Structure 1
């Protein structure tokens, strides 16, 4: 029996779930109606046609991505918290993020994170072009790391694997390094390590001009 009550938010939530699990191609009005237990005409009444539905989903994703609240006692820790939150949000909804990008709203989606980063680099004493460079460098580091990370996840199994290539004989002068490289990488730890190093360098006092 078809549902008699349905809200626009319920339709968008169900559509977002379908896209998150199976990608935009899996989102059809018929499949969405079946997911909600309602008639296709009810879906059209709430959100319009499929293009209107996709636009509404993009807007919903942009709004969800807006809630980034820095945490920590120092600018470095607070910037790290922004980076960690942004990476988690982007990883959690890759198909929806792709839809946002395809509809030309990527910069708008990143604006709240940029505003949070601006506030923190200002708190650290940076201004002007140096502050803008710091914000963009952190943003590029987050997105670039995520792209590499997802590419590694999607790549076929490697043979020989990294663990096969690094045995103690491969680095006789540094067996501890060989053992470390033979272990699986910890993406979260490496992400925080790289962002912390970048931010520490960006916030450090600039070197004196050459004489």
Structure 2
């Protein structure tokens, strides 16, 4: 059975999958063509050379980050939803995000999420510097949290680990604290808790719930 005509979106989807799984260095036109079951010339016809393909992937990554839509009943809930969605995007596509950064498009990539946060800041009654502080604080919280998560995930096995360290460390008579710090980190819960606390501290009281 003949293969259906290849589309540009299929080429970009396959290229994005390769980058996501193996990093940008794994993305070659020959490997991409083999994965799609087509000739290398067909890949060139749809997306041009490798640099043009990388540019197209970056543009699509930037556009995808623009798809973040707030959800929730209050400005605080909607701001937290934007932060959580942005975190998921950054965590799900680290290699593509790195490519965006390398091409000097990081600020453009974050602009749609910033604009969504501005709308919610205005809805909560914040203007000017107060609104700008909220936008930047939330963005920095998201990026910083993702960087810490990735560093923990990529770090070598720690010896001694947290469990051993906290089993011997003084805790001021709080054994529950030691057990909690020795256990695994629920990064999703920790992120949600910290971003909610941040948003509450920056919004007017009436809009912080």
Q: TM above 0.5, one fold?
A: yes
Give 1:204 deviation, angstroms.
3.6
Give 1:2 deviation, angstroms.
8.5
> 2:175 is matched with which residue?
175
**SS of the counterpart of 1:167?**
helix
> 1:52 is matched with which residue?
52
Give 1:164 deviation, angstroms.
1.3
**SS of the counterpart of 1:156?**
coil
**SS of the counterpart of 1:166?**
helix
Question: Do residues 166 (structure 1) and 166 (structure 2) align?
Answer: yes
Is the Cα–Cα contact under 8 Å of residues 134 and 202 in structure 2 kept in the other structure? yes
Is the Cα–Cα contact under 8 Å of residues 70 and 81 in structure 1 kept in the other structure? yes
> 1:12 is matched with which residue?
12
Question: Do residues 84 (structure 1) and 78 (structure 2) align?
Answer: no
Give 1:193 deviation, angstroms.
1.1
**Counterpart-to-counterpart distance in 2, 1:134 and 1:181:** 30
Is the Cα–Cα contact under 8 Å of residues 8 and 47 in structure 1 kept in the other structure? yes
Q: Note closer, same or farther for the CA distance 1:168–1:13 as it changes in structure 2 (3 Å cut).
A: same
> 1:202 is matched with which residue?
202
Give 1:51 deviation, angstroms.
0.5
Question: 1:123-177: CA deviations, max 9, x gaps?
Answer: 1110001111110011011001111110111000111111112238732521221
Is the Cα–Cα contact under 8 Å of residues 124 and 204 in structure 2 kept in the other structure? no
Give 1:3 deviation, angstroms.
4.5
Where structure 2 has 5 or more consecutive residues not aligned to the other structure, the ranges are none
Q: CA RMSD in A?
A: 1.6
TM-score, structure 1 as length reference: 0.93
> 2:72 is matched with which residue?
72
Runs of 4+ in 1 over 2 A off after TM superposition: 1-4, 167-170
TM-score, structure 2 as length reference: 0.93
> 1:42 is matched with which residue?
42
Structure number with higher relative contact order (C-alpha < 8 Å, ≥ 6 residues apart): 2
> 1:100 is matched with which residue?
100
Number of residue pairs matched by the alignment: 205
**SS of the counterpart of 2:158?**
coil
Give 1:5 deviation, angstroms.
1.7
Where structure 1 has 5 or more consecutive residues not aligned to the other structure, the ranges are 206-211
